[in-house]
Amino acid sequence: MSDDATSSPLPAPADPGLRLNPVSSTERITLIDALRSFAPVGRMALTNYLCQSIISVFVFYGWGLGLSARFRFGPFEWLWRSLTYMKPQPMRVA
């Protein structure tokens, strides 16, 4: 085996890939662990979808909280319109 930097299994400290990489290997492990915490949600995707749909019906169709009967827009639509027109838009139904 030669002693040049290209044959080494570990990158040299002056390797441009190391200098330009903002995420260290320990941060990658932490990110992978954080993403693994979402695995149970993936195994219950149908249940999550159905529960979200049932709850949304009660919230947005006026059966439960009646938000769509009292407000013109959702909160993000209101924010978007207010930023677009550069003034607060009326949120409540007259």
Query: pLDDT 10s digit of each residue in the chain, 94 long?
Result: 555 555 656 555 555 555 555 555 555 667 788 788 888 877 888 888 898 988 888 777 766 666 677 888 888 889 999 999 999 999 888 7
Q: Which residues, other chains included, contact 71 with Cβ-Cβ below 8 Å and sequence gap of 6+?
A: 78, 91, 92, 93
pTM for this model (two decimals): 0.36
Dihedral sign for Cα atoms in the order 36, 42, 43, 49: positive
The radius of gyration of the chain from alpha carbons, rounded to an integer in Å, stands at 26
pLDDT score, position 81: 92
Residue type, 38: F
pLDDT score, position 86: 94
